[in-house]
Amino acid sequence: MQNTDTAFEIPASQRPAVTVDIVVFTLQERELHSLLIKRSYPPFQERWALPGGFVKLDEPLDQAARRELEEETGLHDVYLEQLYTFGEPSRDPRTRVISVAYFALVRADQQTPHTSNESSEVRWFPVRELPQPLAFDHDQILRFAVDRLRSKLEYTTLAFQLLPQVFTLPELKQTYEQILGEQLDRGNFYRKIKEAALLEPVGQVRESGGRPAALYRFRAERREGDFVFRWREARIERDR
């Protein structure tokens, strides 16, 4: 319940500010990368931070995330999902700021991010070698996002959002391995993928030094987020 009208007499100056922050993932040179922005202004001037910004008064949260992402980096049409809301009173030294964090997935082959006037630099960083510390509590948010991505990879088709339209099975396997940070058995992986009947052969082949790999694309009707493909047993998510 929210709330008696008396609660609305709280002066607006007493209201916390609300932002969205977006953790954007992509694959680059077969490694998981995340997009960061170098802050041009204090606080945390010259520190790397997640793209994000203030939610407008009559704007849905996910729309705010998309808008901020496009304004600050030029990226658009990404896969977007709400992650968690961070609200420690001290997370922003200026005033109380509550941040609704999102994570996004993009195919790196498709778009190149650009800088804006709020950021002197925009760059993809390998998740394994992030500049640290980031501004605000963005280290924590990023860790949270990586955990979530890893976890959802095991029972959804999220990985598809990181690959180009057409790809090979070895590439798919490598995507999983990169994100999970562990080696997978080729035979078992292929078997599982084929049993799920997610793929459609694209009658072509791409060379790679040895025997060429067959090309596939994901079946259109299965690209939606609600289809669940459980690719293996283990499933442990650490919340918080």
Partner DNA sequence: TAAATAGTGTCTCTAAGACATTATGTG
Partner DNA sequence: CACATAATGTCTTAGAGACACTATTTA
The CA-based dihedral angle spanning residues 26, 31, 35, 37, taken in that order and rounded to the nearest 10 degrees: -160
Interface mask toward a copy of itself for 150-189; x: CB under 8 A? -----x----------------------------------
- Binding to DNA by CB under 7 A, coded x per residue (else -) over 147-176, reads ---------------------xxx------
Q: Do residues 136 and 48 touch, judged by C-beta distance below 8 A?
A: no
Residue 211, binding choice from DNA, a copy of itself, none, Cβ under 5 to 8 Å by partner class: DNA
Q: What angle do CA 15, 18, 20 make, to 5 degrees?
A: 175
Two tokens at 138? Answer: 């963005």
Q: Least Å distance between CB 157 and DNA?
A: 15
CB-based burial label for 32 (10 Å; 0-12, 13-18, 19+): buried
Please give the backbone phi and psi of residue 187, each rounded to the nearest 5 degrees, phi first: -60, -50
Q: Pick from 130, 69, 80, 127: which is nearest to 103 by CA?
A: 80
Compute the least distance from the CB of residue 63 to a copy of itself, in Å. 9
Look up 121 and say whether it is catalytic: yes
| CA neighbor of 52 nearest in space, from 31, 80, 90 | 80
Quick one: what does residue 187 bind among DNA, a copy of itself, none, with the CB cut-off 5 to 8 Å set by partner type?
DNA
Closest to DNA by CB, 22 vs 172, is 172
- Contact with a copy of itself (CB under 8 A) among 97, 142, 193, 199: 97
- Give the torsion through C-alpha atoms of 152, 123, 133, 183, to 10 deg: 40
Kindly state the tokens that stand for 160: 């598809």
Q: Which residues from 69-98 bind DNA, rule CB under 7 A?
A: none
Pick from 25, 103, 124, 136: which binds a copy of itself (CB under 8 A)?
A: 136
Which residue of the set 46, 71, 121, 182 is catalytic? 121
Site mask, DNA, residues 109-148, x = CB under 7 A?
----------------------------------------
Distance CA 147, CA 27 (A): 16
At 57 the three-state DSSP class reads coil
Answer for which of 31, 40, 115, 190 binds a copy of itself (CB under 8 A) is 40
DSSP state of 45: T
- Among DNA, a copy of itself, none, residue 232 binds (CB under 5-8 Å by kind): DNA
220 binds a copy of itself (CB under 8 A): no
- Residues annotated catalytic, as ranges: 121
